[in-house]
């Protein structure tokens, strides 16, 4: 069935289509000059010195964490993670070779509860992952205070935080590194893709090595994959031998390709329009939705923040006569696509069972896992669609 209000969309501009054709004609499709251009423009947009493009948002979290091995971390060290997030956040910690230590979230903000972080810190803790879920910024001042006192790194999972502003600063500039997803439903997309932003050039160097099997070459403007470039370091380096085949660290295969970068470059060009339209949709829906309180609630925007308009979360409050799944099914029958608002990774996702957590340890995350959903607010959604959504909720509530 074709949805009246689909969850996600993507914009492919004429410029992107032209570039994609050129790239295909040239047969220079693997990571090259357009990926470099995309990285430069993404860094400018966010306001960081560096951005390193990767093949997914999950890789972005994984590789940002793996950088820490070059800066004192050891395998099996601990990373603090909010229990509620898209499961990719927890998977990334394990894929990077660390142990996730989960803490509960705040029900109202959906983000990590700073009060629970302190109790979770041990001698093995190396970093805190601050997820800005649904584009709502995490409490970065408290998180950074704790990190400073305990000498920990802060990694933002900014997958859903394109356009998020916290106390005048963009998400992506608030920690040591930030991981964005560029997957289709996200505001800037490369189809599949991810990118890490950072102000630390040394982190960026290591990221460039990690995405390419941990090899010793990590220059921002690599010429070795252009088959015309001459690289002075190729054989003239501290190791002796071809630098491309010297492995400095355990790496990944996580590069972005030129076609993906071409889609992303088009998106950056129209980013302000996408952001404006999505913000309008978010603000419109937040104001219309207030009347469903206390049965249904969403997140609210604080005075010193701007929520990045990724999607619109809905949380069913306690003591209702209906379940989240009743509402999801009703919406679906009316052509409104939705997604659940993720799960408590340690206690509601069976893959994490081996870590030994038990149901009940993360009451807020588990509550959202049972009672949360989110719908799209993307650039192809109009006010009349949002009015239709509100009317559909009214009908549902009158029947229940
Ligand atoms: C919070 C969060 N972290 C990580 C990811 C992973 O991104 P990707 O799907 O690009 O791997 C997502 C995906 O949307 C996400 O929502």
* The pLDDT value given to residue 243: 86
Q: Residue 260: name the closest of 53, 5, 107 by CA.
A: 53
Angle between helices 383-399 and 271-289 (to 10 degrees): 30
Q: How far apart, in whole angstroms, are the C-alpha atoms of residue 138 and residue 144?
A: 11
Both tokens of residue 90?
């927890």
Q: What's residue 250's pLDDT?
A: 97
**Candidate from 7, 56, 58, 95 with most ligand 1 atoms within 8 A of CB, to mutate:** 58
Strand arrangement of the beta sheet that strand 296-297 belongs to: 296-297, 312-316, 372-375, 338-340
The alpha carbon of 104 and the centre of ligand 1 are apart by a number of angstroms equal to: 19
Q: Cα–Cα distance between 173 and 198 in angstroms, integer?
A: 7
| Mean of pLDDT over the chain | 95
Please tell me the distance from the alpha carbon of residue 96 to that of residue 189, in angstroms, as a whole number: 24
Reported as a single tens digit per residue, the pLDDT across 319-352 is 889 999 999 999 999 999 999 999 999 999 999 9
Residue 238 has pLDDT above 90, yes or no: no
The secondary structure of the chain, three-state, reads CCCCECCCCCCCCHHHHHHHHHHHHHCCCCCCHHHHHHHHHHHHHHCCCEEEEECCHHHHHHHHHHHHHHHCCCCCCEEEEECEECCHHHHHHHHCCCEEEEECECCCCCCECHHHHHHHCCCCEEEEEEECHHHCCCCHHHHHHHHHHHCCEEEEECCCCCCCEECCEECCCCCCEEEEECECCCCCCCECCEEEEECCHHHHHHHHHHCECCECCCCCCCCHHHCCCCCCCCCCCCCCCCHHHCECCCCCECCCCHHHHHHHHHHHHCHHHHHHHHHHHHHHHHHHHHHHCCCEECCCCCCCEECCCCCEEEEECCCCCCCHHHHHHHHHHCCECEEECCEEHHHHCHHHHHHCCCCCCCHHHHHHHHHEEEECCCCCCCHHHHHHHHHHHHHHHHHC
- The gap from C-alpha 47 to its chain's centroid, in whole angstroms, comes to 17
Mean per-residue pLDDT for 12-29?
96
Query: How many Å lie between the centroid of ligand 1 and the Cα of residue 57?
Result: 5
* 150 CA from centroid of ligand 1 (Å): 28
User: What is the model's pLDDT at position 224?
Assistant: 66
As a whole number of angstroms, the distance between CA 337 and CA 359 comes to: 29
The pLDDT, as a whole number, for residue 94 is 98
Range of lowest pLDDT (128-142, 218-232, 291-305, 348-362): 218-232
Domain spans of the chain, in order of start: 14-268, 271-399
Q: Whose CA is nearest to atom 8 of ligand 1?
A: 57
How would you class 349 by CB atoms within 10 Å of its CB: exposed for 0-12, middle for 13-18, buried for 19 or more? middle
In the Cβ-directed half-sphere of 26, how many Cα atoms lie within 13 Å? 16
Ligand 1, atom 12, residue with closest C-alpha: 159
pLDDT > 70? residue 228: no
CA distance 175 to 177: 5
* 152-188 pLDDT tens trace: 999 999 999 999 999 999 999 999 999 999 999 899 9
| Residue 338 · residue 7 · CB < 8 Å | yes
pLDDT in tens, 45-103: 999 999 999 999 999 999 999 999 999 999 999 999 999 999 999 999 999 999 999 99
Ranking 87-96, 166-175, 225-234, 384-393 by mean pLDDT, the lowest is 225-234
Model confidence at 227, pLDDT cuts 50, 70, 90, reads: low
- Tell which CATH architecture fits domain 271-399: Alpha-Beta Complex (3.90)
What average pLDDT does this structure show over 106-134? Answer: 98
Residue 226: predicted pLDDT: 58
Checking if the pLDDT of 225 tops 70, the result is no
Distance 92 CA to ligand 1 centre (A): 10
Whole-prediction pTM: 0.97
Which CATH code, of 1.20.140.10, 3.40.640.10, 3.30.365.10, 3.40.120.10, is assigned to 14-268?
Answer: 3.40.640.10
Judged against a pLDDT cut of 90, whether residue 38 lies above it is answered with yes
Mutate which of 8, 161, 181 for ligand 1? The one with the most ligand atoms within 8 Å of its CB, which is: 181
Closest ligand 1 atom, residue 58 Cα: 11
Kindly state the percentage of the chain with pLDDT values over 70: 98
* Structure-block tokens of residue 238: 């501290």
């Amino acid at each position: 069935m074709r949805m009246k209000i689909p969850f996600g969309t993507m914009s492919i501009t004429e410029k992107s289509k032209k570039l994609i054709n050129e790239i295909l004609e040239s047969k220079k499709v693997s990571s090259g000059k357009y990926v470099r251009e995309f990285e430069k423009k993404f860094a400018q947009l966010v306001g960081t010195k560096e951005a390193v493009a990767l093949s997914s948002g999950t890789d972005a979290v994984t590789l940002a964490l793996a950088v820490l091995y070059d800066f004192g971390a050891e395998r099996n060290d601990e990373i603090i993670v909010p229990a509620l997030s898209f499961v990719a956040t927890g998977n990334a910690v394990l894929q990077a070779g660390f142990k996730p230590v989960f803490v509960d979230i705040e029900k109202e903000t959906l983000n990590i509860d700073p009060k629970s972080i302190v109790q979770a810190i041990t001698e093995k803790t190396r970093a805190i992952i601050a997820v800005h879920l649904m584009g709502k910024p995490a409490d970065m001042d408290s998180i950074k205070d704790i990190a400073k006192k305990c000498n920990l790194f802060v990694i933002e999972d900014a997958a859903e935080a394109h356009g998020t502003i916290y106390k005048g600063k963009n998400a992506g500039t608030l920690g040591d590194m930030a991981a964005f997803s560029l997957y289709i439903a996200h505001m800037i997309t490369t189809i599949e893709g991810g990118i890490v932003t950072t102000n630390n050039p040394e982190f960026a160097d290591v990221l460039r090595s990690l995405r390419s099997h941990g090899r010793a070459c990590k220059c921002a403007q690599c010429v070795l994959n252009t088959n015309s470039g001459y690289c002075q370091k190729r054989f003239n380096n501290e190791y002796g031998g071809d630098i491309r085949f010297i492995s400095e660290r355990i790496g990944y295969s996580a590069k972005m390709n030129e076609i993906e970068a071409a889609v992303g470059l088009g998106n950056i060009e129209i980013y302000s329009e996408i952001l404006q339209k999505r913000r309008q949709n978010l603000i419109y829906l937040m104001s219309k939705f207030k009347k469903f309180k206390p049965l249904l609630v969403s997140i609210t925007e604080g005075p010193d923040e701007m929520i990045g308009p990724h999607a619109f979360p809905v949380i069913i409050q306690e003591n209702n006569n209906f379940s989240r799944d009743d509402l999801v099914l009703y919406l679906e029958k009316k052509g409104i696509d939705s997604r659940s608002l993720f799960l408590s990774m340690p206690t509601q996702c069976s893959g994490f069972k081996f870590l030994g957590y038990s149901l009940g340890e993360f009451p807020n995350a588990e509550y959202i896992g049972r009672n949360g959903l989110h719908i799209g607010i993307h650039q192809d959604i109009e006010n009349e669609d949002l009015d239709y959504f509100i009317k559909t909720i009214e009908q549902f509530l009158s029947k229940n």
